[in-house]
Amino acid sequence: MVTREEAENAVQTLLEYIEDDVSREGLQETSSRVINSWDEIFNGYHQSPAEVLDSTFNGEGYDGIVLLRDIEFHSTCEHHLQPFTGRAHVAYIPTDRIVGISKLARIVDLHARRLQNQERITKNVADDLETHLSPLGCAVIIEASHGCMQCRGVKKQNAIMTTSAMRGVFFDKAEARSELMQLIRD
């Protein structure tokens, strides 16, 4: 278990790696601020999908698509510790239980606020919906731009990466998939 003090000292070492004189005013509290921001950015480790998705309601026979689109999220690439940000579209077709719509956004955040790659967030959100809601189908589409590609390496500012996970009826049936895509584009 790494203590807060050890974490701050490690950041201080990195500051000294970047700059010779780290005694100037602007850097005085930087190590502490970095760890504060990390506590927030990485708080997804302290939540469980079961807790987020456990309060469900009677769907009263609703058997259409439930879609929450344009869920903005911020995550951190595990390869470079650079931010990647974008939008997630999360959909499911209930069998008999529906979930509070804000929970779909919270489940995206739970996975985004960890060290991540985009593919894993996409897959894990779909896995959680499948496990906890047992829907007829569920779908997750994520579009994001990656800091590690914008400010270093190939330096592409406008490239958007898209990933998708289609389960159940969204995987099996082209009509369900195209209705979903229509709803996302509208």
Residue 138 known to be catalytic: no
- Identified catalytic residue from 28, 79, 119, 182: 79
Site string for Zn ion, 147-186 (x = CB under 5 A): -x--------------------------------------
Name the DSSP letter for residue 118.
H
CB of 77 to Zn ion, least distance (A): 3
Amino acid 27 reads: L
- The answer to whether 46 is a known catalytic residue is no
Residue 77 bears catalytic tag: yes
Query: Shortest Cβ distance from residue 146 to Zn ion (Å)?
Result: 6
- H-helix segments, 19-134: 30-41, 49-52, 102-112, 118-133
Of the candidate spans 92-100, 104-112, 125-133, 143-151, the one that interacts with Zn ion by CB under 5 A turns out to be: 143-151
Q: Which of 19, 78, 119, 151 is catalytic?
A: 78
Contact code string over 39-78 relative to Zn ion, x by CB under 5 A: --------------------------------------x-
- To the query of whether residue 148 is one of the catalytic residues in this protein, the response is yes
Question: Burial letters for 116-134: b for 16+ Cβ neighbours within 10 Å, e otherwise?
Answer: bebeebbbbbbbbbbebbe
Residue 80 annotated among the catalytic residues of the structure:
yes
Closest residue (Cβ) to Zn ion? Answer: 148
Instruction: Confirm whether 118 is a catalytic residue.
Output: yes
What are φ and ψ of residue 149, in 5° steps?
A: -100, -25
Which residue from 28, 103, 82, 70 is spatially nearest to 184, judged by alpha carbons? 70
Give the residue, chosen from 69, 80, 87, 123, that forms a contact with Zn ion under the rule CB under 5 A: 80
H/E stretch holding 114 reads: none
Is 111 one of the catalytic residues? no
DSSP strand E in 52-177: where?
56-58, 66-77, 83-93, 97-99, 115-116, 137-146, 161-168
Query: Considering only CA atoms, which of 33, 1, 42, 39 is closest in space to residue 15?
Result: 33
Q: Which residues are catalytic?
A: 77-80, 118, 146, 148
Binding site for Zn ion (CB under 5 A): 77, 79-80, 148
